[in-house]
Amino acid sequence: MKNVKLSVLDLVAVGEGFTAGEAIQNSVHLAQKVEELGYERYWFAEHHNSASIASSATVLLIGKIAEHTKTMRVGSGGIMLPNHKPLIVAEQFGTLDAMYPGRIDLGVGRAPGTDPTTAEALGRSPYGAPNNFPEDVEQLQTYLGANEGARVHAFPGENSNVPIYILGSSLFSAELAAQMGLPYAFASHFAPNYLEQALQLYRTQFKPSEYLDKPYTIACVNGMAADTNEEAERMVTSLYQYFLGIVKGSPKKLMPAVDSMKEIWTMNERYAVLEALRYTFKGGPEKVKNQLQSFLQITQVDEIMVTSHIYEPAERVHSYEIIMQALKELQEN
């Protein structure tokens, strides 16, 4: 536990009454704060066709945050690789690495990051694209490596060896990461069901590579920490409302917290939301510390990545403060 790291996943949620520009500035402020707190990395997730998320141009946000921070790693969690050509991704992340050497991560996934109609608008094949994911990752490795004797090169990018992370929420991604000898990040913040099985599969099948000599695991969770349990229970209703919109197929902007969800969701909707958000650390400092300890004992992950759909920017910053303090106290004991 003493070597466990904390990181941030940011979808740049746009709150009701906020603009996308304000949401991005809030992310810049948060990144600067968590860097001071000792968070390891700050990742952005690629999503499209959602008024509640401003992280569609993921590469631009990575550059923005890297420019306004000093030492923290910054990257994608992830780039949905079937939406892009590997050469373009290699050039973009090679350029980022040229500007911010040794600080850029490239997390890649195979999900659409959107609905089928939007995926088609992105030029994504409805049939073959996800099946090409392993080959696309290999192409990325080639472009970002020495790539000797090739006719096509990524400039910048070649020989940058920007680290690649495999993202996923299924056993397929775990097996792929293990076979390729790459670090593995699991999306347990919204897809909790296969977490333990995927981690076990990844560790048992892992093959050392030139990129990684032993398994490295990251699990993403929702973090809702406040000074009291009661404050946290109220704060988390913004996340519940947000995810309820996804469940109902009508996503909305991040809404302010409410005193009660009873009039907002049905019992079936409540079950669906709470089941998907099973790995949500919520409560005051002591409760969150206990949740953190239990999660680490069960999963034995190397790193926890925290995402926080909290409406008030100041409360979001404070939540990350509490979570980091909780981990430090665990590591000191």
Work out the average pLDDT over 59-69: 98
Q: Say if CB 222 and CB 8 are below 8 A apart.
A: no
| pLDDT tens-place string over residues 210-219 | 999 999 999 9
Q: What pLDDT shows up at residue 129?
A: 46
Q: What is the DSSP letter of 236?
A: T
**Structure tokens of 124?**
């994504």
Q: Which amino acid is at 86?
A: P
Work out the average pLDDT over 136-146: 97
Q: What pLDDT shows up at residue 119?
A: 72
Q: Say if CB 11 and CB 49 are below 8 A apart.
A: no
What predicted TM-score, i.e. pTM, was given to this entire model?
0.96
Label the pairing between strands 184-186 and 280-283: unpaired
Buried-exposed string 54-87: b where 16+ CB fall within 10 A, e elsewhere: bbbebbebbbbbbeebeebbbbbbbbbbbbbebb
For 123, 170, 317, the CA distances from 119, given in Å and listed in that order, are: 7, 20, 33
Residue 245 in 3-state DSSP?
helix
278 closest CA partner among 190, 194, 217, 199 = 190
Helices (DSSP H) in the chain: which residue ranges?
A: 20-37, 58-67, 86-99, 116-121, 133-144, 171-180, 195-205, 229-235, 237-247, 267-276, 285-299, 313-332
Work out the average pLDDT over 139-145: 98
> pLDDT higher for 111 or 263?
263
CA–CA separation, 134 and 279 (whole Å): 28
> Which residues are CB-neighbours of 99 under 8 A, at least 6 positions away?
63, 66
Helix (H) or strand (E) holding 256: none
CA–CA separation, 98 and 109 (whole Å): 23
CATH number for the domain including 152? 3.20.20.30
Q: Say if CB 217 and CB 196 are below 8 A apart.
A: no
Which backbone phi and psi does 94 adopt, to 5 degrees? -65, -40
Q: What pLDDT shows up at residue 1?
A: 84
Q: Which amino acid is at 227?
A: D
| pLDDT for residue 259 is more than 60 | yes
Domain count, the chain: 1
Which backbone phi and psi does 226 adopt, to 5 degrees? -145, 180
Please give the residue range of the domain that contains residue 196. Answer: 5-332
| pLDDT for residue 96 is more than 90 | yes
3 closest CA partner among 304, 236, 282, 265 = 304
322 closest CA partner among 294, 278, 282 = 282
| pLDDT tens-place string over residues 296-305 | 999 999 999 9
| pLDDT for residue 127 is more than 70 | no
| pLDDT for residue 23 is more than 70 | yes
Other CB atoms within 10 A of residue 264 CB? 14
